[in-house]
Each structure stands twice: as structure tokens, then as C-alpha cells.
Amino acid sequence: MIHRAVCPGSFDPITMGHVDIFRRAAQQFDEMVVLVTGNPNKPSGLFSISERVELAEKAVADLPNVTVDWWGGLLVDYTTKHDIGVIVKGLRSALDYEYEVPMAQMNRSLSGVDTMFFMTNPKYGHVSSTLCKEVIKYGGDIHDVLPPD
């Protein structure tokens, strides 16, 4: 049985879709890490890494088996260093699946770590951090898809 899992992402910003995946995954593992990642291929974010970590910590504060960390390197190096056996990923659509499968296969090839996919709650199927940033940029109201401060 696998006891530790990690749910990585840029979480810029963290959304209720992310939080829903964290909550559901946390029920499946003894320990789970929400891992804020820095991606050098993405432009600088809306929030700094430290702000994203703080927002994630607030969002999972009521989940006793969930911690938040940050990592800027290869995900498999993190899983190996911390003895984590599963990567958790949320999928909104077939497009997410097509994007995630090669990464899951590469991670498995590099370190033996498996990836577990959780289907997004349909309530949040339209939500992405990218869309949230766009709506925020133009002054739209997205309070219902972001965790409360």
C-alpha cells in the first residue's frame, strides 16, 4: 500500500478545483503533499512562490494529513528524496489527459513513481488558473471558484 502522495502544480492562483482534488486525494493516503512548483518555461506568475505556498497552506489548513512544500527541480527527484510513491493529478478533460500522460510515463520511466488521475468535479470543470488570471485582469468576479482568504 502506498502511504505518501504528492499533488504538484504551479497553483497560480490556487482554485476550488485544486482544493477539491486535494480533499479527495487526502482521503486515499496517510500523507499528502501539495507541491507548489516553479516552471521555468512559464512566464512569471500572478503570485510569487512564497505567496502561492501561503495560499495553499490556508486552503488545506483543515486537512491534518496534508502539508505544503515548494520544489523547483525535477518532480521525480522530489518524490525520490521524500519517499513518495504516487503523483496525484486532476483532469478536467481529454486535453488534460493528453498533456499529462506523457509526463506520467516519463516519471514512471525515470523513477518508478506512478501517477493517479482524479477527474475534476464537473462543478469546476471550466476552471483553470489561466482563465482566473484573465478574468481578474479585466476586473471580473471569480470569488466562487477561488478559496476564501
Q: Where in the sequence numbering do the catalytic residues fall?
A: 18, 42, 92, 129
Distance CA 143, CA 73 (A): 32
Distance CA 131, CA 149 (A): 19
Maximal CA-CA distance, the chain: 47
Distance CA 137, CA 135 (A): 5
SS (H, E, C) 44-86: CCCCCHHHHHHHHHHHCCCCCCEEEEEECCCHHHHHHHCCCCE
Distance CA 33, CA 60 (A): 10
